[in-house]
């Protein structure tokens, strides 16, 4: 799939959750009232727009990067603004409030396997509605919004559009931007009520297999851990039927899958990484998203978009934080040559 891109617009405007992650490497995840040892601690970026924009900056994207959202009038908020400035991310739409603190997450990452558990404080993100975004004035080509289900003001119902997020995405499309969404992985039954209304106003839907399954009702991961590729394709088709305009991309540890509105299916295995390479998985999904959006913005073939996505995810896995492992685009792609790709997973007919 060769995308037609508008020459009048350039750049990615990313809005939503701005979070500071406090990442703690623990020896084991404890049972209630039991003890776990913290082996090391680090601080990093968190939230869809923050991670995606920093990843794109580190990959060397030469198009404008715009931040949108809300941080607290505090030390963590100042760190986010300074980090954006250092990475040449435009913060004109990233506001500061005294009504709530900057959001943060304690990320408990299990040593060895990289499994992580999140303890999240919503903070200022819960107040952000995006209603002041001047879509008609911005020159950005893509508006990326995330995470649905974790933005209280945008998850609220709307009489006309279903949710406030759907209204915001519709406004972006009406102004000529392409829209993209990401969703948080949560154990709830809210997906259909909050995610589905937004899909009617989305051009690029990028989810993991858990989120895609919960949104559509398909069980993509079997009880034995095996990926059900038939259910995966059905879920992608269902997301398109719910309104996604151009392409649905579903990522998972084994790789990525995309289905276009025209019915084109593209599969991409992930990298064959040694076990001791993986230091943390917290940022892999957003890194995959950043790589895929990089390609969609530039109009690359869909296969290349997914390849960049899995290579960016592999770079992210090398560090416990979400974005400190990210490399230049060429260095990310070099990881595929160094480690090779997984054997193609079985695609059931």
Residue 291 CB burial class (10 angstroms; 0-12, 13-18, ≥19): buried
What is the residue-level pLDDT of the chain in tens, covering all 349 positions?
A: 555 555 589 999 999 999 999 989 999 999 999 999 999 998 999 999 999 999 999 999 999 999 999 999 999 999 999 999 999 999 999 999 999 999 999 989 898 887 878 899 999 999 999 999 999 999 999 999 999 999 999 999 999 999 999 999 999 999 999 999 999 988 888 998 999 999 999 999 999 999 999 999 999 999 899 999 999 999 999 999 999 999 999 999 999 999 999 999 999 999 999 988 998 888 999 999 999 999 999 999 999 999 999 999 999 999 988 999 999 999 999 999 999 999 876 554 3
336 is written with which tokens? 């595929």
54 is written with which tokens? 């920093």
CB 135 within 8 A of CB 52: no
Dist. CA 224–CA 285, nearest whole Å: 22
Phi first, then psi: what are they for 78, rounded to 5°?
A: -65, -40
Q: DSSP character for 231? A: H
pTM to 2 decimal places: 0.93
Domains of the chain: 12-19+47-107+122-339 (3.40.1190.20)
């Amino acid at each position: 799939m060769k995308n037609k891109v508008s020459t009048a617009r350039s750049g990615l405007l990313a809005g939503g959750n701005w979070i500071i992650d406090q990442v703690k490497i623990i020896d084991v995840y404890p049972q209630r009232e039991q003890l776990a040892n913290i082996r090391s601690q680090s601080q990093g970026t968190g939230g869809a727009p923050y991670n995606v924009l920093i990843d794109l900056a580190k990959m060397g994207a030469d198009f404008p990067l715009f931040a949108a959202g809300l941080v607290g009038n505090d030390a963590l908020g100042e760190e986010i603004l300074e980090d954006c400035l250092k990475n040449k991310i435009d913060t004109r739409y990233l506001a500061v409030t005294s009504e709530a603190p900057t959001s943060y997450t304690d990320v408990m990452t299990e040593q060895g396997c990289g499994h992580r558990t999140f303890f999240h404080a919503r903070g200022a993100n819960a107040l952000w509605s995006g209603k002041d975004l001047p879509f008609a004035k911005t020159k950005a080509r893509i508006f990326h919004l995330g995470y649905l289900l974790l933005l209280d003001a945008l998850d609220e119902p709307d009489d006309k559009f279903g949710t406030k997020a759907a209204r915001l995405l519709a406004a972006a499309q009406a102004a000529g931007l392409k829209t993209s969404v990401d969703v948080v992985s949560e154990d709830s039954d809210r997906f259909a009520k909050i995610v589905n209304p937004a899909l009617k106003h989305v051009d690029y839907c990028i989810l993991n297999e858990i989120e895609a399954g919960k949104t559509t009702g398909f069980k993509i991961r079997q009880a034995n851990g095996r990926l059900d590729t038939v259910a995966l394709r059905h879920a992608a088709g269902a997301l398109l039927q719910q309104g996604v305009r151009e392409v649905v991309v579903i990522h998972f540890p084994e790789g990525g899958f995309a289905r276009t509105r025209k019915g084109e299916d593209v599969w991409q295995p992930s990298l064959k990484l040694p076990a001791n390479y993986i230091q943390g998985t917290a940022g892999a999904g957003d890194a995959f998203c950043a790589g895929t959006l990089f390609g969609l913005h530039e109009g690359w073939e869909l296969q290349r978009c997914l390849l960049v996505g899995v290579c960016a995810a592999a770079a992210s896995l090398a560090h416990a934080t979400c974005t400190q492992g990210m490399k230049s685009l060429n260095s990310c792609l070099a990881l595929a040559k160094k480690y090779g790709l997984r054997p193609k997973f079985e695609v059931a007919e």
